[in-house]
Amino acid sequence: MGRRKFRPLNGILLLDKALGVSSNKALQDARFLFAAEKAGHTGSLDPLATGMLPICFGEATKVSAFLLDSDKRYITTASLGYVSTTGDAEGEKINPRPVPHLTDTALESVLDKFRGNISQIPPMYSALKKEGQPLYKLARQGVEVEREARNVVIHSLQVLARTDDTLTLDVVCSKGTYIRSLVEDIGESIGCGAYVARLHREFVMPFGGQKMYTLEELRNVAEQGMDALDQLLLPMDQALPDVPSMTLDDGQITRLRQGQRLFFPGQMDSELIKIYSTAHEFVGLACVQTQVLMVKRLLAC
């Protein structure tokens, strides 16, 4: 069997990551299946987490940073009465404590402390780095280092179900939010400790409600050929639905590609603008400052 030939491919795949698979492994499996020359994901999920992992192929990697900054929605099940050395079901369960009986009103009072703008200390089991070393590698060596608290926003925090020792929560949050830290902090506020028993990412904005595909589904589609697979990709500009757009003629686009700036009298300032050709093709991103259009990122021709 000859070596697989990879191809230039542009677009966004909404992958439904499976349980027990690292985000990088899921990315490489999808890239191999699509035979894409270039691919990147937009915010990793832990192996024990499932759900939406947007994968950007080719030129779509140029908009991946905007997805990293997007709000996300998670469904998580918190197990009460213990803490975990990793913050999730993978770690050793320690420090058992009785779970107090909480009325719905009392539970809402606890959760209300975690709605809106909150401060979080990132967990040791995370991909954040300390002096170039990922924290999770230090944690596996039994090393704990001081982490700076960060401000995040919990837009919505709702109880979907509860038992004597579990809470299933629906969380919509800003970038940088660690659900493990949120669950641990809620457990401490209740007084019994908690860890993440299950975590599923429902969506990354702006892809709420859109179809995700498991690797198994993608392999089945691949049997129909590459064209069938390519039909599952979203255009890269769909990652930026709220960004204003501007149409330029071929001459103007050529000048931008040559590094020139365009003068637009009367144009309002904008930090980000989608640029389209007169043929309605997405060309790239620019900004307008003091009536001058300046390139941020242009797609390859």
Please check whether residue 200 lies inside any domain of the structure.
no
Please check whether residue 52 lies inside any domain of the structure.
yes
**Are 18 and 47 in a shared domain?**
yes
Please check whether residue 22 lies inside any domain of the structure.
yes
**Are 116 and 182 in a shared domain?**
yes
**Are 230 and 248 in a shared domain?**
no
**Residues 141/146/151/155 CA torsion (nearest 10 deg):** 40
The residue segments making up the domain with residue 87 are 79-193
Q: Grade residue 301 by pLDDT with cuts at 50, 70 and 90.
A: low
**Are 89 and 187 in a shared domain?**
yes
The domain boundary, picked from 164, 193, 222, lies at 193
Please check whether residue 278 lies inside any domain of the structure.
yes
The total domain count for the chain is: 3
**Are 45 and 88 in a shared domain?**
no
Considering only 43-47, 121-125, 267-271, which range has the smallest mean pLDDT? 267-271
* pLDDT(1) > 60: no
Taking the CB of residue 237, how many other CB atoms lie within 10 A of it? 21
Active site residue 237: no
* pLDDT(2) > 60: no
**Are 111 and 260 in a shared domain?**
no
**Are 53 and 142 in a shared domain?**
no
Structure confidence at residue 260 (pLDDT): 87
Q: pTM (2 decimals)?
A: 0.91
Residues 154-190 have pLDDT tens digits of 999 999 999 999 999 999 999 999 999 999 999 999 9
Q: Which two tokens stand for residue 223?
A: 């049997």
Out of 46, 88, 185, 237, which one is annotated catalytic? 46
Q: Taking the CA of residue 175 as centre, how many other CA atoms within 13 Å lie in the half-sphere pointing to its CB?
A: 10
